[in-house]
Amino acid sequence: MTGLRNRRRVAVQALYQLDNSGPQDESLVSNEAIREFIEADEISEEVFQEGLQLARDTWSHREAADSDLEPLTPDWPLHRQPVVDRNLLRLAWYEMNKAGTPPKVVISESVDLAREFSTEQSPSFINGVLDRLYHDMIEASEPSTESTPPDPAS
């Protein structure tokens, strides 16, 4: 596996632990506790640290991510989603909105991680939500033609 994939694997597993640790401050979840939890036999210390930083960056933006993701999943509010799925969506949101990772790469990687870590239905759920998020981002970045009044001379 590539270093980038392993970095995301570490991030997803760290986010899972952060999300399950309750309302405590994320700084109380130590590197050692995360290292013990993560399946990281073949992951270098550098990739582990990068993945941990990605998880902490994502975690610090979870409220903004949740705000954007919640309307996309009206039948499955975030609090009812499997912990892995919720954090895959948060990680993808962070990478697409803050880290500048190309959205198609993020979506593909997120679907693959859902296959690895979550339920049988999760890959299609993750793909659908992230596809809607991506299209919302495209629409938001396009200039609106509605605000331009029609030319009376035409």
Whole-number pLDDT of residue 5: 87
3-class secondary-structure state, position 99: coil
Domain total in the chain: 1
Whole-number pLDDT of residue 3: 77
pLDDT tens per residue, range 22-38: 655 555 455 666 666 66
Domain interval for residue 133: 3-140
**Distance of alpha carbon 18 from its chain centroid, rounded?**
14
Give the closest residue to 7 by CA, choosing from 41, 46, 34.
46
Residue 151 lies in a domain: no
How many residues are given for the chain? 154
Q: Which amino acid is at 20?
A: N
pLDDT tens per residue, range 39-51: 656 778 898 889 9
Q: Which amino acid is at 43?
A: I
Is the model's pTM score more than 0.95? no
- Per-residue pLDDT at 9 exceeds 70: yes
Residue 153 lies in a domain: no
Whole-number pLDDT of residue 107: 97
CATH number at residue 122: 1.10.940.10
- Per-residue pLDDT at 65 exceeds 50: yes
Q: What is the mean pLDDT of residues 68-92?
A: 94
Cβ proximity of 63 and 43 under 8 Å: no
Cβ count near 30 (within 10 Å): 9
